[in-house]
Structures are given as structure tokens and as C-alpha cells.
Structure 1
Amino acid sequence: MAMNRKEIQHGSWILMKGTIRFLFMVINNLVAIPSYVLYLIVLQPLKLLNSKLFWHVEGIMFKWLLAMVSSWGWTAGYTVVEWGDDVKAITEDETMVLVNHQATGDVCTLMMCLQDKGTVVCHMMWLMEYVFKFTNFGVVSLIHGDFFIRQFCQTEKNTVEKQKGLQWVIDITIAYHKAKPIDIQTWIIGYREPTITHVHYRIYPIKDVPMESEALTRWLYQRFVEKDELLAHFYETGAFPPPKGQTTATSRAMTLDPLWLFLIQLMGFLSGYMWYNVLQYMYNGLGL
């Protein structure tokens, strides 16, 4: 069937917008990630003198990098509504997160959700497939101290068992509009219409989590059974069920400050420009 004029115009607009967004993302990575690495190289003396301050500074820059990724989805109209327990009260405590990972866009969604949760995003550690070590963000994850794993389920269970200072487990369930997950390509290019992703939180005190291996395995399986029940309810009614003992479920629209996102991006591009000039000066100074 031949496309009409309106469809051609819409397709052309999506193609042009997607190309611009993709080029911006590439440039964004080329300036922000090397800048992060070079700042930390220069700050190595600080690491020797005051390790705590060094990792505090690193955490702030790590949060800024994740904010840049969040901005890609935010500017495409991909927003988040949060349900369930309010996790802001425990974000400064040592916590482990479980999530129903469905697509590559889940990671970007979590990066967005964590931006307004205090300093947790500065200190959090990610567990990811080993192959991600070889992506553009791999060097950042290596420096930050993230974990690359080959057997996720067993590693997840071992992490709960060995984490002595753990205080909470947050069970996160992500639900997408019409059960269509957003992948990283959509997040970057923005070819899907603006949509709301729904994120449900449930908090478990660590004292309620069994530490014995078999009991812990059953407990983890049960969380994913509950996730399926939550998702079934959401896709049937358009809302997550209310917490036990309550009759209504409340939701909270998660917001990001556009000015703050702009300043973060501006900082990244100015840093990239500065480091380009510094490296060029050093190159010329060496007579190479």
C-alpha cells in the first residue's frame, strides 16, 4: 500500500529527529566519558591523600553521567510514575535492589528513577552481564567498581548472603505501556511516541529475608511470582494494587529539572572542549 503525504512527512520527521538524537548521543559519549576518566586521572593524588573525598567526587561525576543518559529519554517524553513504598527514606542506607529486567531500556529507566533519590546514585553498584565490560560505558563501570558477572541468578543469591551491612532489599517491578518494553535504541533515537513507564517499589527489611541458601532461593523465586501477579493486575486495570491493609493505591509522578539536565550537559561539553585543548597543548609541547 502506498504511503500518503502525511505518513511520509511523519516518517521523514522521525528519521530526521532520530538521526539528530543519535549524533548527539555519540558526541555526548565522546566528550563525557573521556572527561570523567581524565578528571579521575588528575585526581589520583587526592585518592592517596583523602580516599573518602576522592570517591565522593567520583560519585558526583558518576551521577552526572547517569543524568545525561536520563536526559535522552526525558527529552523524548519517556517519563516515570512511581507506585508502592516510598524509598526516599532509606536511600542513604545499604540496600540491594531486585528488578524484573525485561529490556535494555530498564537500566535507563532506573537511572532516571534514582536521580531524585539523594546521593544513592553516587554510591550504588551495578551488577551486569560480563559483555557490558566491553561497551562504551564499561570503563566507567570498571572505575566506579561495578560488578560484571556470567551467572546472574547464583551471583544475586550470593550477594544477599555475603552482604553483612545490608539493611534493606527493594523489590522493583517495571511495567510498560501496553506491555511493550523500551529498549536502548528507542531511548536514544526516540522514535516511539511519548509514554509513561510505571515503577512499583516494595521494601523488605533484611531481617525478613532468610539467609539460609535453600530458604533464600525460595524467597527470591517468590518475589518474581509476586512480580507476575503485580504485572497481571496492572495490565488488567492500568494500576498497581494497593499495599496490604489499604484500599487505594497512590502514584507519584517522578520529575527531573530541565535546567539541571541542561547544566549537566553543558558541563560535559565544556569539559570535553577543555580536555581537547589540554591534550592538544601537551601533544604540541612534546613536538609530536
Structure 2
Amino acid sequence: MVAMWSYSAGYNVVEVGDDVWDLIEERTLVLFNHQSTSDVPLIMAAFNSRPNLSNNIMWIMDHVFKLTNFGIVSWAHGDFFIHGGKQHREASLLELGSHLQKFYIPRKRKWLVLFPEGGFLKNRKASSQSYAKKNNLPVLENVALPRVGALKVIVDNAAAEQHTDDSDKIKYLLDVTIAYPGGRPLDLPTIFGGWRPACDTIFHYRRYNIEEIPKDEETLTKWLYDRYEEKEAILQEYYDTGIFPDAHTTHDPKFEPVETNRLTGQRVVHDTLEFILRHIFYIVSTWIWMSFLYWVFTSICQLVW
């Protein structure tokens, strides 16, 4: 349903970069830069267009979403709510490792979605730049420096060699860059109401074999920082020129693919009939639920009075 809000308003997702859609049935870690509240609806729109994908995803999201109606559904689905802040970080990462072993692997989920920046760019930018200046790191404008903690836990727990069943192991990593036209992200109210003119949001995909991702924390941190420096340059060129660069994926020479299909700017297309059927189901199920609540309320009233 969320996908229909953006799609019907003309907020399209355009896909470029490596073709990743042969990985739907593979265990895959997916990293996104995080710009605004519209990121998740647009990600859902892209994922919803592919059969059998939406039901096989586990999301790692901020704990505040647990307090919403969306959070209740996510909790039932087995998604993980991570706590930010120094006082919660270590405990939350331990819980994530346990959650992967208890939910992600046994439930046979395929794609695992993570936002390494740990929050929206507008909220993280100042602290990211301050940290970068203190530690002689690149000062980024279009993305925030990513946090490596959750990625390290995933690499250790869901991509490690100790899994005797090869199907339990994450085999690929997708690094996705979300790029809004002019560097002006949409937001959730705009997705709901369609206040802004129709536009294309670019999803740039880069795929890696999980074996080429470093395992030790120091090298993994550098690898992740390098990817975000690349995102910074890609986004800056797009914002300056209005043309998204043909940025190819940089691989470890040992894992350079022989042939990689490329996406060249296809818009994500949805099935209108599926949208209609989903909304009918939602309306009918809501009516049944409200009728049940009304029956409970009237029954209690009759007993009391």
C-alpha cells in the first residue's frame, strides 16, 4: 500500500548500476544511505515490484519505530529495533547478534536491510562532520560517516564460515545510493499528499560477493568509509550536473566478476491490479476488525448497564 502512495503521485524510482535482481532468492545484506522519511516508502516501492521479495526481508530500524502501528507489524514480522547512543550501543549490538541467530536465519529471510549512518542525514550531519574533523577523516556533505558496529555483527553472525548449511550464510552485499533530484529529499507528508511535482529518485546499486568484505573491524571500517566517500563524490556530481554518473563497482581483484549486467535507468513499474486487490483486502480487514471491536464494546456495555 505504501508503494502506491509514491507511485500514484509520480514519485518514481529509477534504477541504475549493477543488476541485482537475480539475487532475490539469495541471502543478501543491503546497505542504504539515509536521507529522509521518504527513503523507506521508496525502498518499499522498489522491493514491492519484485515477486516474493517483500515477504523475505528483515529490516534493522531505529527503536522509535517500535512505538508506532508500523512498528507493531514490523515486530510481528521479526524485524530488529536497534538503540542508538553510547549507553545502549553495546547491548543493542549483542541483541542484534542474537536476533540474527533466532529470527533471520531460522525464518529463512533473504534480504537484510541496514542503514549504516544510524539516522537521517539532516540529524547526523553535524555530529558526523565534527567527528571527522577530530579524527582526520573526510568531512562529508551529502552523506554521514557510517557506523560499522551493526555491519560487523552481521558479518560475524550471518556471513561467517561456521554455518554448516550454506543456505544460512549471507552471500552478497548490495550497497545502494539513494539520490534525490537537486539534493532535495522528499518526506513522508509529501509521499502521503503528493504536494511536490512528480520526480525521479535514483537508486544506484553496487553488488559485492560477501567474501570480498573485510572481516576484522579496522579494515572493515576503512572499506565502509571508502564506499561512503564514493557515495559523496557520486552524489555531488549528480547534484552539480543533474546527470547521474556511470559509477562502476570497485572490486577486490580476486572477485572481479567476469560479466555484470547493468541497469541503465529503468523506472520501477507496479501492477495496478495488485494495488487494487491489496487495498480491497485492507479495507475489508479494517471493517471486520472495527466491527469486532464494536461488538466487544457493545457487549461490555450491555453487561455493565
**Pair in the same fold by TM > 0.5:** yes
> In the alignment, is residue 138 of structure 1 matched against residue 53 of structure 2?
no
Which has the larger displacement, 273-282 or 193-202? Answer: 273-282
Unaligned runs of 5+ in 1: 1-67
- State the distance in 1 between where 2:245 and 2:267 align: 14
Deviation at 1:239, TM superposition (A): 2.2
| Aligned-partner SS, 1:250 | strand
> In the alignment, is residue 198 of structure 1 matched against residue 202 of structure 2?
yes
Aligned partner of 1:232 in structure 2 is: 236
- State the distance in 2 between where 1:72 and 1:270 align: 19
Deviation at 1:266, TM superposition (A): 1.2
Contact 2:175–2:205 (8 Å) recurs in 1 = yes
Contact 2:19–2:263 (8 Å) recurs in 1 = no
Contact 1:104–1:184 (8 Å) recurs in 2 = yes
Deviation at 1:155, TM superposition (A): 2.1
- State the distance in 2 between where 1:249 and 1:205 align: 18
| Aligned-partner SS, 1:226 | helix
| Aligned-partner SS, 1:137 | helix
- State the distance in 1 between where 2:247 and 2:227 align: 17
Aligned partner of 1:44 in structure 2 is: none
Deviation at 1:240, TM superposition (A): 2.9
- State the distance in 2 between where 1:224 and 1:87 align: 20
Aligned partner of 1:254 in structure 2 is: 268
Contact 2:181–2:242 (8 Å) recurs in 1 = no
| Aligned-partner SS, 1:166 | coil
Deviation at 1:161, TM superposition (A): 2.7
Aligned partner of 1:10 in structure 2 is: none
- State the distance in 2 between where 1:250 and 1:115 align: 20
| Aligned-partner SS, 2:274 | helix
Aligned partner of 1:35 in structure 2 is: none
Deviation at 1:138, TM superposition (A): 1.1
- State the distance in 2 between where 1:128 and 1:140 align: 13
Contact 1:114–1:120 (8 Å) recurs in 2 = yes
TM normalised by structure 1 equals 0.71
Aligned partner of 2:285 in structure 1 is: 271
Contact 1:72–1:187 (8 Å) recurs in 2 = yes
Deviation at 1:169, TM superposition (A): 0.5
- State the distance in 2 between where 1:281 and 1:103 align: 41
Contact 2:3–2:44 (8 Å) recurs in 1 = yes
Deviation at 1:242, TM superposition (A): 4.9
Contact 1:70–1:108 (8 Å) recurs in 2 = yes
| Aligned-partner SS, 2:69 | coil
Aligned partner of 2:123 in structure 1 is: none
| Aligned-partner SS, 1:125 | strand
> In the alignment, is residue 186 of structure 1 matched against residue 190 of structure 2?
yes
| Aligned-partner SS, 2:5 | helix
- State the distance in 1 between where 2:83 and 2:62 align: 6
Aligned partner of 2:224 in structure 1 is: 220
Contact 1:234–1:241 (8 Å) recurs in 2 = no
Contact 1:240–1:249 (8 Å) recurs in 2 = no
| Aligned-partner SS, 1:148 | strand
- State the distance in 1 between where 2:211 and 2:4 align: 37
> In the alignment, is residue 156 of structure 1 matched against residue 151 of structure 2?
yes
Deviation at 1:226, TM superposition (A): 1.2
Contact 2:37–2:188 (8 Å) recurs in 1 = yes
- State the distance in 1 between where 2:276 and 2:238 align: 34
- State the distance in 1 between where 2:82 and 2:233 align: 28
Aligned partner of 1:82 in structure 2 is: 15
- State the distance in 1 between where 2:242 and 2:38 align: 24
Aligned partner of 1:15 in structure 2 is: none
Contact 2:29–2:174 (8 Å) recurs in 1 = yes
Aligned partner of 1:48 in structure 2 is: none
User: Aligned pair count?
Assistant: 220
Amino acid at match of 2:270: L
Aligned partner of 2:252 in structure 1 is: none
